Structure 1
């Protein structure tokens, strides 16, 4: 079942993704055009990543004190104010101080670091049973469509009207995201942390009463900060999913734009146009993967973990063929095919994580997960850059496939964890929830 509020969450995430893409492309274009320095331009995504890591580390304190919907609203409002201030600043000077730009980027990303775990924690509260995987599938489809269309259209808009006018689209998107967020009703919201009343059904009232007994206010700050990490350590299923996810992320970083462009130029001997074709092909495959999940929810739900491993194995096989292929058209087909299993595995993995956490655990665990993923991705970019320079692009993609293969082996060895009596596990989960 999917609650009506999920579609409001879906709307706010879609609009926020549009804002993120337009904001990044317009700002990167502006900085690179003004400085001509790739190093200076790279500082924008670097500041974003560092800020999200710092934000994720302290997010549990915020998540423990405020409603998830309130966190989303404050974050979106803060980003709107900061970004509007940035636009006015850029309009008022011909020689902007890039330190100010980077500090504003840091501040916006810091606020955005709270929205990621808040959104991910809201999804299992607004969708459950078969609806949860379907909801994750919907999110996946919209994310990929926005990414596919967003980068192309944003580039066109920037080229036509300029970077600074394009930035106003981002500001408007933040306002629209706030409107969608205002209509989200969290059935597990605690009245102790927010005095406002949420209208819920009789079924939801029990859940609200259960969660309202959360001892968050009686625990120390250190306990709040470390709670998500402790759950990751003691919950065997979530711990194994985290291991699989992070090993897979080490190899998954091979598909960032810079590496794909280098492969196109060095291995396929094509120009940047083929880079655009490759990105579009991957997004089409990813959209197909999301549609497949939504259409086959019932069958996937029954064998979620094995299907995830099989999907990852299909991705490994495709990646190995891709690594040593030198024909552009075949590479285009292979990268499109890879998007299908990648998306299926990603949606299933996200659903399994959400299913194996209580509503009270989910925000803190998602916060810890976000920090871990960002750190892993940053390390992966550095390692793969060195590996590609040393051993070549083809061998780098082979390494990426082997890393995911290692994740599959880890999952296969630990498959018994996911064979345990699920009804018994649900009973344990219900008891754990009652403590909150």
Structure 2
């Protein structure tokens, strides 16, 4: 089977899985709130998801050393499909029969499987496409992911009202079953013997440390991780609780504008991915420069958003903010894929995801507390400052970034 065919299977399968994931989150949140009426129990859904993915970031290297990436892709997807059967068949017991804690356990298992699948997907992409097409392919994947996010959140509520919770979850099962079938069609061109020989004599601690040590010893990857850590500390301003306060206090609008701003931000990210795909060659030649400019523009837009009181201008700023955000994400993804040897790439992506989940959890807590303590405009200015520091750090390493290209 050709690498192109394998990539198509991966792309279609991941799109189906992502849509199933978004619909599942929307439906399960609605069902837990409807059954319990508790905001706290409903808020446990993202907390359980994020916490498990953080833990999974440390356990993923153990699986990566013992299984081929293709095995991880189809086995994790098959595992999620079987969990959907268990969830849907016992839904009434989970919600009304005193089994609610077990529902959170199932959600944790979903997330743990994702924590192994995500670095596997990101790492296998450069094995399936030519280096000269990586930026274009990453832009395509980013655009697809954002389209699924936009469509999924919009469709989730409609399907829940039209079909009910049980039928909606069966639809999620169908999507995940289709994704599992697609993953069986992905073939890894890297010889199995090469992977097995490398993993044969490693202890568990060595497996977990290997990705972190590699990142620390690579000046370029270390720089990108530091930038990522600073910028993800700013991401907490975009959680629902903080955005809702901004909508009500800074813009003087109702809850519908919360949805408008989120949709605008996602639309901007979708547009950013499409532009990267369309102008991939231009982006390839300027990745280091675009990483710095993306951070500067994103920081300035955060300042404008924080000081603004006009709803339609806020929506426009959100749309514009999605562009540099997605551009930076694609550039960072491509830098990782081109600067790391195939054997280590999934572990390095596990490091990247662990930094993201840790930073986002801390940021969500910090920004929520500061919103109550000093006001919502301040936290957006603080977010701008954090991204600005990332831009300064990147600019100080311009010679290093200038050398960044599609070929290591």
Q: Name the TM-score class by shorter chain.
A: over 0.9
Matched-pair contact (CA < 8 Å) for 1:80–1:171: yes
2:309 match: 326
1:72 match: 73
Once residues 11 and 228 of structure 1 are traced to their aligned partners in structure 2, the CA distance between those partners, rounded to angstroms, is 29
2:274 match: 291
Matched-pair contact (CA < 8 Å) for 1:140–1:287: yes
Q: Which moved more, 1:3-12 or 1:412-421?
A: 412-421
Once residues 43 and 78 of structure 2 are traced to their aligned partners in structure 1, the CA distance between those partners, rounded to angstroms, is 26
Number of paired residues? 406
- Please report how far the alpha carbon of residue 48 of structure 1 lies from its aligned counterpart in structure 2 after TM superposition: 1.1
2:182 match: 180
- Please report how far the alpha carbon of residue 422 of structure 1 lies from its aligned counterpart in structure 2 after TM superposition: 6.7
2:17 match: 16
- Please report how far the alpha carbon of residue 86 of structure 1 lies from its aligned counterpart in structure 2 after TM superposition: 1.2
1:95 match: 97
2:162 match: 160
- Please report how far the alpha carbon of residue 418 of structure 1 lies from its aligned counterpart in structure 2 after TM superposition: 2.6
TM-score (norm 1): 0.90
Once residues 287 and 385 of structure 1 are traced to their aligned partners in structure 2, the CA distance between those partners, rounded to angstroms, is 27
1:206 match: none
The counterpart of 1:239, out of the listed 222, 225, 244, is 222
Q: Render the CA deviation track for 1:202-227: whole Å, top value 9, x for unaligned.
A: xxxxxxxxx45742112222211211
Q: Note the residue ranges of structure 2 that are not aligned, 5 or more in a row.
A: none
Once residues 312 and 104 of structure 2 are traced to their aligned partners in structure 1, the CA distance between those partners, rounded to angstroms, is 40
3-state SS of the aligned residue for 1:399?
helix
1:197 match: none
* Counterpart check, 1:367 vs 2:369: no
* Counterpart check, 1:278 vs 2:261: yes
Once residues 183 and 107 of structure 1 are traced to their aligned partners in structure 2, the CA distance between those partners, rounded to angstroms, is 24
Superposed CA RMSD: 1.8
Once residues 403 and 93 of structure 2 are traced to their aligned partners in structure 1, the CA distance between those partners, rounded to angstroms, is 63
Once residues 412 and 61 of structure 1 are traced to their aligned partners in structure 2, the CA distance between those partners, rounded to angstroms, is 36
Matched-pair contact (CA < 8 Å) for 2:290–2:328: yes
Once residues 421 and 101 of structure 1 are traced to their aligned partners in structure 2, the CA distance between those partners, rounded to angstroms, is 45
Matched-pair contact (CA < 8 Å) for 1:90–1:96: no
- Please report how far the alpha carbon of residue 243 of structure 1 lies from its aligned counterpart in structure 2 after TM superposition: 0.5
- Please report how far the alpha carbon of residue 101 of structure 1 lies from its aligned counterpart in structure 2 after TM superposition: 0.5
Distance 1:170 1:213, change over 3 A: closer
1:434 match: none
1:100-139 maps to which residues of 2 (within 5 A)? 100-139=102-141
Q: Render the CA deviation track for 1:76-118: whole Å, top value 9, x for unaligned.
A: 1111111211111114574342111011111111111100111
Once residues 317 and 421 of structure 1 are traced to their aligned partners in structure 2, the CA distance between those partners, rounded to angstroms, is 25
The counterpart of 2:142, out of the listed 132, 140, 143, is 140
Distance 1:178 1:251, change over 3 A: same
Matched-pair contact (CA < 8 Å) for 2:68–2:195: no
3-state SS of the aligned residue for 1:218?
coil
Matched-pair contact (CA < 8 Å) for 1:318–1:334: yes
- Please report how far the alpha carbon of residue 130 of structure 1 lies from its aligned counterpart in structure 2 after TM superposition: 2.5
Once residues 96 and 268 of structure 1 are traced to their aligned partners in structure 2, the CA distance between those partners, rounded to angstroms, is 42
Distance 1:305 1:422, change over 3 A: closer
Q: Render the CA deviation track for 1:106-144: whole Å, top value 9, x for unaligned.
A: 111111110011111111111232211111100110111
Once residues 358 and 385 of structure 1 are traced to their aligned partners in structure 2, the CA distance between those partners, rounded to angstroms, is 39
Q: Note the residue ranges of structure 1 that are not aligned, 5 or more in a row.
A: 193-210, 427-436
Once residues 3 and 301 of structure 2 are traced to their aligned partners in structure 1, the CA distance between those partners, rounded to angstroms, is 34
TM-score (norm 2): 0.96
Once residues 183 and 113 of structure 1 are traced to their aligned partners in structure 2, the CA distance between those partners, rounded to angstroms, is 21
- Please report how far the alpha carbon of residue 173 of structure 1 lies from its aligned counterpart in structure 2 after TM superposition: 1.1
